[in-house]
Amino acid sequence: MKTSVIGFPRIGRFRELKFASESFFKGEKTPEELLSAGKELRKQHWALQESDGIDFIPSNDFSFYDGMLDTAVMLNAVPKRYRELKLDGLHEYFAMARGYQGPNGDVKALAMKKWFNTNYHYLVPEIGDETEIRLNGSKALGEFSEAKSLGAVTKPVVIGPLTFLKLSRFTGAKRAADFVPDLIRAYSLLLEKLGALGAEWVQIDEPILVRDLDAADLALFRKLHTGILKAKGPVKVLLQTYFGDIRDCYKDAAALDFDGIGLDFVEGKESLSLVRKNGFPDGKVLFAGLLNGKNIWRNHYAKTLPVLRELQGGAKQVVIGTSCSLLHVPFTVESETKLAPACKKHFAFAAEKLRELTDLKKLASCKAPEGTDEYRANEALFRSVRHEENKALKAKIDALTERDFTRRPAFAEREKIQKASFRLPLLPTTTIGSFPQTSDVRANRSAYRKGRIPEEQYVEFNKRKIKECIELQEKIGLDVLVHGEFERNDMVEYFGEHLNGFLFTEKAWVQSYGTRCVKPPIIWGDISRRSPITVGYAKYAQSLTKKYVKGMLTGPVTILNWSFPREDIPLKESAFQIALAIREEVLDLEANGIRIIQIDEAALREKLPLRKADWHSEYLDWAIPAFRLVHSGVKPETQIHTHMCYSEFGDIIQDIDNMDADVITFEASRSDLSILSALNKAGFRTEVGPGVYDIHSPRVPPAAEIRAALQKMLQKIPKEKLWVNPDCGLKTRGYAETVPSLEHLVQAAREVRSGL
Ligand code: GLN
Ligand code: ZN
């Protein structure tokens, strides 16, 4: 029995890589200094895995920005516009990752997308007709040799050719199939070179295999890997999959000449039954992903061991590992100084998962594991009562009926009532919620958190900011106002901190993209609201103006999706608990005179299951009701808005409409607006505010540009249903660009309105 790690967090225990990279970007560190910071981290991470006795330690899982970008570089798929900058390798690499503006030119970064069902983002490689795929980069070779010189024979990790092709953007006429021979050559050469350096195993990651595959995908999979495996020589090849099961290609994978297959038994609902039904191919090693690589809870050995035993009965050789790369969990629980030990012992971040793997390896070879200290300690942990169950809440959830999820009257009638009562102009203008988080705003929050200023002073400052913000919006001439969200650090953390049931960490950062990390809260117990959260500021803001000020909340699905969820109850249960808590807030806002309430669901799309068959049964069937539960109790004349930071909901339009909000605003300025045709075709009834300008860039959009966008939108959306707003919140922007941008927005709306 051996242990394997698919990938380890790269950012470092204290985000060292982030800080080194950022000082390099600012010109404060030389390329050599950045490279050596990377080298030092790799060394530490390998040493840690070695000291825990991990048998298959990965190399080339490190990245200065992103593994997909590394793969593009390795395969020579660097788009022309970056080559033409004539930068050195490192600067060219970062130009692709972050864009480049300087003496050598001005180019935007590659597009970024969410990596499967995680909050990690990869860079989307571009493959054009002129792209010459060949083995170019030497990163995988270099890092293997580097580890070897430190005494570790690692398992180099590369993203596989199918995943690479399927996630790339083809910019010319050529398609995936046109690049097959070149890819086979490149990967074959890579295996040959790694073999020559002394690699025994190479891990080829093909997470794309857990998605729905059609016949063409399967043919491509077979063709690519048959070709590559022919040339593998003495190197053993592990086909590594994660984030689900490979039901569409299990037999194909088994028939190919891989030496090992890595399956995910945590998210892969059918992995076990695939092995049961088809058996595991003789002569291959089963890399069994049995520990959750995405969540932070300790593994329950009494549940894992029987599965491991069963697998050992089916496959000659089993290696135990995590379900996916540890990139998606924080580094170590050890860095948490404020969490109670009673809580801490329930968590396993990346470093602790290494220890669990070693425990399980030992237990698996024990005749009577139940008698060991490791097993007994683990059992005690799972027997202990973590927190009191909120029985009243449970009863409340059990008693929910269809009525609680249904707002009355139906949409069309409400729309009429609201139009008559609000008397807003056509194409009402608004913003998404936050206004620029200038340094004084952050300083005020931080001083309060650190106890340096009393609450009174903190609140006074926020009120002054709100007043300025309301005045500014009135001056600009917006129709529906916001308070500006100056009291909020983060849209999930802010609510989590005001609800029972959440735990917060100090150093539990997870890479989101490049140097950006997030610190998701942990859902520890049953969630309930202690007291009103946003009512004070909302009421104050509304008191300053005759215009309507939107109440601003984060929705239950987003709060859940951007936290580490519980594993002892279904996600649905936590979602409903959060929904009931936010529902109380909605009703309080309404009772306090707030007539328009926005409930953001920025992360709703993110956790849509990877397989279509699971979309409803596993997710939408509770996620959409959770949202409905939040707002179903309001009066017909209270208007409910929601917001989403993306417009890729073309495939779940009906579900979005079924959220039964009155208005939805979403990102649209960077998309091709094809979503509008889809909405039109589907007879979307919810009123819509497709963002008219991109807030992710400091650029000020001219009024004419916004006017043109609105005119285009009006071809697909009835004028009675169209709202005018930016793409997303303005918190990352400065006032210098925000004020003129909003002025242009109002001007454009007025001009277009006058022609209607
Ligand atoms: N209301 C939030 C804001 O404006 C929405 C943020 C988001 O969609 N990510 O900041
Ligand atoms: Zn947004």
Q: In this predicted model, what pLDDT tens digit does every residue of 666-683 receive, in sequence order? A: 998 767 788 999 999 999
407-431 pLDDT tens trace: 999 999 999 999 999 999 999 999 9
Residue 382 CA to its chain's centroid (Å): 29
Which pLDDT does position 668 carry in this prediction? 85
pTM: 0.95
CA 107 to chain centroid, in Å, comes to 26
* pLDDT, tens digit, 9 for 90 and up, residues 630-645: 999 999 999 999 999 8
CA 548, distance to chain mean position in Å, is 33
Does the pLDDT at position 137 exceed 90? no
Q: Please report the pLDDT score of residue 103 as a whole number.
A: 95
The yes-or-no verdict on residue 748 having pLDDT over 90 is yes
Q: Pick the atom of ligand 1 nearest to 644's CA.
A: 8
Provide the pLDDT for residue 749. 98
Q: In this structure, are residues 570 and 583 in contact, taking their beta carbons and an 8 Å threshold?
A: no
Residues contacting residue 717 through CB under 8 Å, at least 6 positions apart:
676, 679, 680, 688, 690
pLDDT in tens, 504-545: 999 999 999 999 999 999 999 999 999 999 999 999 999 999
Give the nearest ligand 1 atom to 488 CA: 10
Let me know: does 462 contact 486? Beta carbons within 8 Å: yes
Separation in Å, CA 569 to CA 451, 466, 524, 526: 36, 40, 11, 10
Ligand 1 closest atom vs CA 433: 4
Position 258 scores a pLDDT of 98
The pLDDT, as a whole number, for residue 387 is: 86
Provide the 10 A C-beta neighbour count for residue 467: 16
Convert the pLDDT of each residue in 716-739 to its tens digit: 999 999 999 999 999 989 999 999
For the stretch 179-194, pLDDT in tens is: 999 999 999 999 999 9
Q: Where are the beta strands (DSSP E) in 243-304?
A: 260-264, 285-291
Residue among 431, 599, 600, 696 whose CB has most ligand 1 atoms within 8 A, to mutate: 600
CA of 434 to the centre of ligand 1 (A): 6
Q: Nearest 5°: phi and psi at 68?
A: -70, -40
Strands 516-518 and 510-513: antiparallel
Tell me which H or E stretch contains 320: strand 317-322
- Quote the ligand 1 centre to 141 CA distance (angstroms): 43
Could you give phi then psi for residue 204, rounded to 5 degrees?
Answer: -105, 115
pLDDT number for residue 300: 98
The domains found in the chain, sorted by start residue, are: 2-383 (3.20.20.210), 427-496+533-754 (3.20.20.210)
Q: What is the pLDDT of residue 740?
A: 97
**β-bridge partners, 237:** 202
The verdict on whether 696 is a catalytic residue reads: yes
Confidence band of 647 (pLDDT split at 50, 70, 90): confident
Q: Give me the residue label for tokens 């090693």.
A: 285
The pLDDT score that the predictor gives to residue 88 is 94
Q: How far apart are CA 42 and CA 52, in angstroms?
A: 16
- Catalytic one among 300, 483, 696, 744? 696
The Cα–Cα gap between 425 and 423 comes to 6
